[in-house]
Structure formats: structure tokens, C-alpha cells
Amino acid sequence: MRKTLIALMFAAALPTVAMAMPEGAGPMGGPLDGPRHGGQMHDMHGKGPYSQLDLSREQREQIRKIMGEQMHDRKQLVEKYLEKLSPADQKAMKDEIATKHQKAQADVRAVLKPDQQKKFDEIQKKQAERRAEWAEFKAWKAQQPQKAQ
């Protein structure tokens, strides 16, 4: 039951990721040469929930902020329940998520033309470097003495 609940929570959180991204930005803040490019909030087919509302830039920013907060809250909720799983179940879930992510990346790459694949590979490499830097920073931060506030 817990595994199903957590899997559902992760699946429900994924759409908010797309809504929370800044205009023209792809995953990890990189450029996106796709449907969101051009300043409109819409999904792959231009029929997102807000595309027909003729939102001003300020309204889009406010909605992005709200959706970002929702995504953050949902992530915290998932982490809360994830901590209740046994370490073996936690690892199994994380491994399954990573495997599905890698398959999706491979499927996306297979759709691209050779020149697009080259650019895609460069973006993936930069993202991996950023993740490594972030992990290094978090490890460093964890080792720093806590200052009294």
C-alpha cells in the first residue's frame, strides 16, 4: 500500500515540474527549443490549462511561483513518507525511478536527429556536471559547523 501511495505521489508531482519551469527553460534551467519557448504556458500540444486564459507576464510568473511552491510541498510530503519505508524499499524505489528516467532519456534521444542528439548529449553532460557540483556542495555544507542563530 505504501509503495503504491508513494508511486502515485511521484506520478502526481511530475506535471507540476513542467509548470514550475521558467519560460524558455528546459530541465535544470537550460534552454528549451520546444513548445514552451515563446512565453506561453502550455503543454506539448499548446492546450495546457492556462493557454486559453490570455495571461499577462505577471500572472504567468505568479502561477509559476504557486506551482513551484506546490511542487516543493509535494516533494517534502513524498520525502516524509519515503523515510517511513525500509532502507531496502527506499533503494528499490529510487533505483526504479532512475531506471525509468534513463529509459525516457534514451527514448527521447532516439527520436532526435544526429545533430540534435549531439546537442542533447552536451546538455546531458552539463546537467551531470551541475548535479555533481551540487552534490559536492551539499557534502561540504553538511560538514560545516552549524552556526547558532
pLDDT (tens digit, 9 = 90+) per residue, 43-79? 444 556 777 788 889 998 998 899 899 999 998 998 8
- The Cα-based distances of 18 to 54, 65, 115, 140, 142 in angstroms read 19, 12, 25, 30, 30
List of residues 6+ apart from 93 with CB closer than 8 A? 3, 6, 7, 82, 85
Length of the chain: 149
Q: What is the pLDDT of residues 99-122, one digit of tens each?
A: 999 999 999 999 999 999 999 999
* Secondary element (H or E) of residue 89: helix 87-111
Q: Cα–Cα distance between 38 and 125 in angstroms, integer?
A: 25
Whether the CB-CB separation of 20 and 68 falls below 8 Å is answered with yes
pTM of the model: 0.49
- So what's the pLDDT on residue 41? 42
